[in-house]
Amino acid sequence: MTIFGVFEIRLNYFLKAFHQQKNSQQKIISLTFDDGPTEFTPRILDILEKNHAKATFFCIGKQIEKYPEILRNTSNLGHIIGNHTFHHSSKNGFYSSQKIVEEISSTNEIIFDTINLKPKLFRPPFGITNPHIADAISQTKHDVIGWSLRSLDTIIDDEQKLFDRISSKIKPGCIVLMHDTSDKTANVLEQLFVFLQKENYKVVLLDELLKIDVYEN
């Protein structure tokens, strides 16, 4: 059970995370994108703007170093910026509490230096949680954001299968996890908005969905 708790953030085994708006009476969802900013982010932003929708982008510090202007544009368009560590290392689950604090703090610093905002939202790489990560979060005071619908867009290559997976699992109040790292995801996002409009779903930001603050005052 402990091992399963490490890899399944939705269990809230080591720490509390937000995964959805429970018992939602409205057909509202939130879209989230991990691992940017990248050269694909502007296309994602264009699709969101075309559909009058806002999303949350969980950004990696080293990617912000590469694409600061894309981060500024993302923020200026009204999207929420969240923290996704500085290096997004595959070793993140093995880091000490202090190392994780450094990963989170350095990312908050570069975000603040770029857009003058300090995120309160954090999504751990790969959704992995453990006692060290829980201890780090208790120090940084971030709210942890999980998901209720994982698109698997970094694994599924077939766009139709990817769209079918997402559209079949959409439910009121859900948080959708995608990545702004490929044209494949952008193509599926365009299809997804057609589906959402047909089914009368509204895309809202996480602060509206979860009733939480997203930046430090």
Can you point out the beta strands (E) in 115-190?
121-122, 143-145, 149-150, 175-179
Amino acid letter for position 192: L
Q: What is the pTM of this model?
A: 0.94
Q: Name the domain count of the chain.
A: 1
- 35-45 pLDDT, tens per residue? 999 999 999 99
Which of 34, 79, 78 has the alpha carbon at shortest distance from 58? 34
Confidence (pLDDT) at 12: 80
58-62, 93-97, 101-105, 170-174: segment of lowest average pLDDT: 93-97
For residue 216, being part of any structural domain is answered with no
For residue 15, being part of any structural domain is answered with yes
Which of 76, 137, 82 has the alpha carbon at shortest distance from 107? 82
- 114-154 pLDDT, tens per residue? 999 999 999 999 999 999 999 999 999 999 999 999 999 99
For residue 124, being part of any structural domain is answered with yes
Find the Cα–Cα–Cα–Cα dihedral 42, 46, 51, 53, rounded to 10°.
30
For residue 215, being part of any structural domain is answered with no
Peptide bond into 37 cis (omega under 30): yes
Query: Residues 93-111: what's their mean pLDDT?
Result: 96
For residue 27, being part of any structural domain is answered with yes
Residue that wins the pLDDT comparison between 61 and 14: 61
32-41, 89-98, 192-201: segment of lowest average pLDDT: 89-98
Query: Residues 99-108: what's their mean pLDDT?
Result: 98
Instruction: Determine which helix (DSSP H) or strand (DSSP E) holds 104, and give its type and residue range.
Output: helix 97-115
Domain of 69, in residue numbers: 2-210
| pLDDT of 4 higher than 60 | no
For residue 31, being part of any structural domain is answered with yes
Contact 75, 115 (CB under 8 A): yes
CATH code of the domain containing 41 = 3.20.20.370
